[in-house]
Amino acid sequence: MNKEYKKYKAKIDEKDFVIEQDNPDIGWYLYVYENGKCVKDHLQDDLETTKTQAKEEYGVPENAWTEL
């Protein structure tokens, strides 16, 4: 079965952020990149929680996300 998963990207200062959907029973990953290297990753149950974590921990505003 070929399912397309959603993916979002944001850039704040020198950091790139990617939110990527996994299988529904897994959740959503938040990846933090510095200089092209992944330095942190977080797993949350849903997209809204993942965006809230990005805002609270890294200052990524809601309007910074672009769907890829």
Residue by residue, pLDDT tens for the chain (68 residues) are: 456 889 999 999 999 999 999 987 899 999 999 999 999 999 999 999 999 999 999 999 999 999 99
Domain count, the chain: 1
* Per-residue pLDDT at 1: 44
Query: Does the residue 2 lie in any domain?
Result: no
Query: Does the residue 1 lie in any domain?
Result: no
* Per-residue pLDDT at 4: 80
Identify the CA nearest to 55 among candidates 21, 17, 23.
Answer: 17
Query: Does the residue 31 lie in any domain?
Result: yes
Domain that holds residue 16: 7-67
CA distance 47 to 44: 8
